[in-house]
Amino acid sequence: MRQIFLDTETTGLESKLGHRIIEIAAVEMINRTLTGRRFHNYLNPDRKVEAGALQIHGLTDDFLQDKQKFFDITNELLEFIDDAELIMHNAPFDVGFLNNELGLAKLQPLENYCHSITDTLKIAKELHPGKRNNLNALCERYQINNSKRVLHGALLDAELLAEVYLAITRGQESLVMEISFPQPDIKINPQDIELISLPANTEELELHAEQLEAIDRESKKMCLWKHIESSTIK
């Protein structure tokens, strides 16, 4: 199955308060290998970026002013994620914003366009309960180089998330269920085994004699078995 690692940056924390997506990025993975295919766009949100959000991603109103609207990139986005497993860190946040944008475009919720949605934050919390499990903490824990992550950026974060996912799921695809069948506890005493010897009939004896004669001729009278039988009969 195709896996798509997706991340967004927004004008604020709550889509319900009218905040919008200003950057979206996704990278494709097949068979635990990044294919190089990516989807990345900056977007004009038709509103101001909050100061708190600006400190996180650094995307200014002036920079976003001439960018496309979310509606303009909808078809390309939906084609990119079609029937793939979407993997996000803190998925409810991104899904909430994406569903808001899709709703404004009069389209169905995100779940209708992908195969499934996986939240790596949920996985990380199960693996490391009580510890910090944000993207930076996971990169540090799994020794993933995130030195370029001075500010949040959707494309870089999607790529880092792919590496984190590989680290936290390492070995799962190669796990093999070992099935052991109980062996019956049977002890055999050789003295209890009765060997049955069946005598050869006349036809079998004649065939046996003919075979020995042929071997004796080919070996120039060196067929030991024939001579042993002859001496035994005498």
Query: Which contiguous run of DSSP H or E holds residue 39?
Result: strand 33-42
**Residues 159-168 pLDDT 10s:** 999 999 999 9
- Per the prediction, the chain carries an average pLDDT of 85
- The yes-or-no answer on residue 152 being catalytic is yes
Tokens of 12: 């604020």
Q: Is it the case that residue 12 has pLDDT exceeding 60? A: yes
187 pLDDT above the threshold of 70: no
Q: Would you place residue 195 in the very low, low, confident or very high pLDDT band (cuts 50, 70, 90)?
A: low
Structure confidence by residue, pLDDT tens digits, 109-122: 999 999 999 999 99
pLDDT band at 219 (very low <50, low <70, confident <90, very high): low
Model confidence at 142, pLDDT cuts 50, 70, 90, reads very high
**How far, in Å, CA of 159 to CA of 27, rounded?**
7
- CA-nearest of 19, 6, 9 to 58 is 9
The pLDDT value recorded for residue 91 is 97
**Among candidate residues 70, 122, 68, the one with its CA nearest the CA of residue 100:** 70
Among residues 57, 152, 208, 227, the one annotated as catalytic is 152
pLDDT tens digits along 43-96 = 999 999 999 999 889 899 999 999 999 999 999 999 999 999 999 999 999 999
- Who wins on pLDDT, 37 or 145? 37
211 residue type, one letter: Q
Residue 220 pLDDT > 80, yes or no? no
Beta strand 85-88 with 33-42: parallel, antiparallel or unpaired? Answer: unpaired
Residue 60: CB atoms within 10 Å? 11
pLDDT category of residue 177 using cuts at 50, 70 and 90: very low
Contact between residue 89 and residue 161 where contact means Cβ atoms under 8 Å apart: yes
pLDDT of residue 70: 97
Give the Cα separation of 138 and 8 in Å (integer): 18
- Phi, psi dihedrals of residue 113, rounded to the nearest 5°: -115, -10
CA distance 64 to 22: 8
DSSP three-state, residue 166:
helix
Measured on CA atoms in the order 95, 98, 103, 107, is the torsion positive or negative? negative
The more confidently predicted of residues 187 and 13 is 13
Query: Which tokens belong to 54?
Result: 């600006």
Confidence of residue 104 (pLDDT cuts 50, 70, 90): very high
Two structure tokens written together for 139? 């990169």
In this prediction, residue 172 carries a pLDDT of: 55
Q: Contact, 25 vs 53, CB < 8 A?
A: no
